[in-house]
Amino acid sequence: MLIVSDDFPSISKAIETLFPYTDHQLCLVVHLQRNVKSQMGKEDSQTFNKELKNIKENSLDYEDGLEKLDDLCNRFKSKYPNFIKHIQSNKER
């Protein structure tokens, strides 16, 4: 079984407790796009989300997408270090 959810600690804990052998995946793109809008400045969030959409639509495979996401995150890392760290630590969940 696979459960896809938001990145809320209470959801993760509930899944671990109720379904200990279930895979848990974060809904990265949609929720990430929303979080980008609230965590970054307007211009940066528009740029980031535009490029995130491009990664989603044009990556050759999973590994290519991860590599492109890393490149995108590295461009914004100095300006939004905590938020980018959060993205990078959750990108494969």
Residue boundaries of the structural domains of the chain: 2-90
Alpha-carbon distance 74 to 21, whole Å?
34
Q: How do residues 28-55 score in pLDDT, each as one tens digit?
A: 677 788 889 999 999 999 999 999 999 9
Q: How far is 37 from 44, CA to CA, in rounded Å?
A: 9
Tens digit of each residue's pLDDT (9 = 90 or more) over 79-88: 999 999 988 8
Q: What is the rounded distance in angstroms from the CA atom of residue 36 to the CA atom of residue 32?
A: 6
Three-class DSSP labels, the chain = CEEEECCCHHHHHHHHHHCCCCEEEECHHHHHHHHHHHHCCHHHHHHHHHHHHHHHHHCCCHHHHHHHHHHHHHHHCCCCHHHHHHHHHHCCC
Query: What is the reported pTM?
Result: 0.73
| pLDDT for the residue numbered 92 | 65
